[in-house]
Amino acid sequence: MTATGTAKMTYINGDSTEVTGNPLGLNSSISFSGSGEVNGYATTLLVTNSDSNAGLSSASLSIDLGDLGKVTFDQAVGAGGISSIDDKAPTANEEVWDGLDAVTGTGNALVGGGNSGVLVYANTFADYNLSAQYSKGASAINDDDSVSGEGTSGSSWDFALTTTSLADGLDLGFGYGRIANSNDQKTLGSTEYDEHGVVYANYSMGMVTAGYTLSQVRDGLVGGQQEDGTGWGVAVNVNDSLSVSYGEREVEFMNASATDVTEDMTGMAIAYTMGSAKITLQHNETTNNGGTAAVNDEATQIALALSF
């Protein structure tokens, strides 16, 4: 078993209309990783405890089957699936939507149905990396002998396929998934799943990386809101320690019985690394926040992160 830890102190300033209280905060986490062989197969356990999830643990148990691939049971680690490529626009720190009020996860054209209580399969075929995920019922962290008992009862599946083999400096990927929704009563005209899709392309040349991401979420319920997202970013490694980035993201919310609304987000980031210490500055802004017309938001974060 090995142990690693992190401590991150932050200063956060939100929109001028928000009451932020004390802007200073500290998050700490510790991760334990153990590995060994079980009946000849390499097996790895990862457990992480973090202040940010109120003392709960995220964990994963992986079994490497060699040429047959790797199978993982994921409890909120984020081991794979379509959510691992939900927004691949290059950045020096966080995404342009980080810290904003807009709903993320299964909203704001961010794809994926969660990474808790799911099975993940990963393998490589002719330089193409496949990561597929399956869950029965709602994505939720469950203990031994327990079930979620809430949310959806259907099954969800999704996958991500990526490669860096087509050209020097080029990173491509796409993903698709059918995520179970709340249509357990099989309402007429509705399907029992939402469709999620994403495609991205990033290109690196020297110290510059530029990229573009397209995503969409299709709500299967009658009268559901449809979402299309486009985002791009440019990140520059000024030297071995300093990196900067700028990006934009646009999400079109298509409403069945109301006027469509387009949300526009921008973000810039600066990161400076000194050994095990990292100092970052992130500033993000949005208009028509979360698809609500004339509602704006912004967030600024300065952070010092230490790794042990």
Residue-wise DSSP of 42-64 = EEEEEEEEEGGGTT-EEEEEEEE
- What does the pLDDT average to over 275-295? 93
Residue 144, pLDDT above cutoff 80: no
Whether the per-residue pLDDT at 250 is higher than 80: the answer is yes
pLDDT score, position 105: 44
**How many domains would you assign to the chain?**
1
Cβ count near 124 (within 10 Å) = 13
Q: How far is CA 298 from CA 12, 100, 279, 286, in A?
A: 11, 6, 20, 6
* Residue positions counted in the chain: 308
From 6-15, 23-32, 139-148, the region with the lowest mean pLDDT = 139-148
**Looking at residue 90, which CATH number applies to its domain?**
2.40.160.10
Q: Is 181's pLDDT higher than 90?
A: no
Mean pLDDT of 284-295: 90
Distance CA 173, CA 282 (A): 26
Q: Where are the beta strands (DSSP E) in the chain?
A: 2-13, 24-38, 41-50, 57-64, 70-75, 116-125, 128-136, 155-163, 170-180, 193-205, 208-218, 226-237, 242-254, 261-274, 277-287, 297-307
pLDDT-wise least confident of 55-64, 177-186, 289-298: 177-186
Query: Chain-centre distance of CA 15, in angstroms?
Result: 24
Structure confidence at residue 186 as a pLDDT band (50, 70, 90) = low
Range of the domain at 64: 2-307
Residue given tokens 């970013």 in the structure block:
233
Q: Are 256 and 225 in contact (CB under 8 A)?
A: yes
Handedness of CA 231, 53, 120, 176 (dihedral sign): negative
Distance of CA 68 to the CA centre of its chain: 27
Query: For residues 223 and 133, which has the higher predicted lDDT (pLDDT)?
Result: 133
55 phi and psi angles, rounded to 5 deg: 90, -10
Q: How many CA atoms lie within 13 A of 48 on its CB side?
A: 17
Distances 100 to 60, 114, 117, 291 between C-alpha atoms, Å: 29, 19, 27, 13
- Mean pLDDT in the chain? 88
Residue 258's SS3 state is coil
* Res. 54 pLDDT band, cuts 50 70 90: low
Contacts 24+ apart (CB under 8 A), 206-212: 207/236, 207/237, 207/238, 208/234, 208/235, 208/236, 208/237, 209/90, 209/234, 209/235, 209/236, 210/90, 210/234, 210/235, 211/88, 211/89, 211/90, 211/171, 212/89
Residue 126 token pair: 């002719």
pLDDT at 149: 45
SS3 289: helix
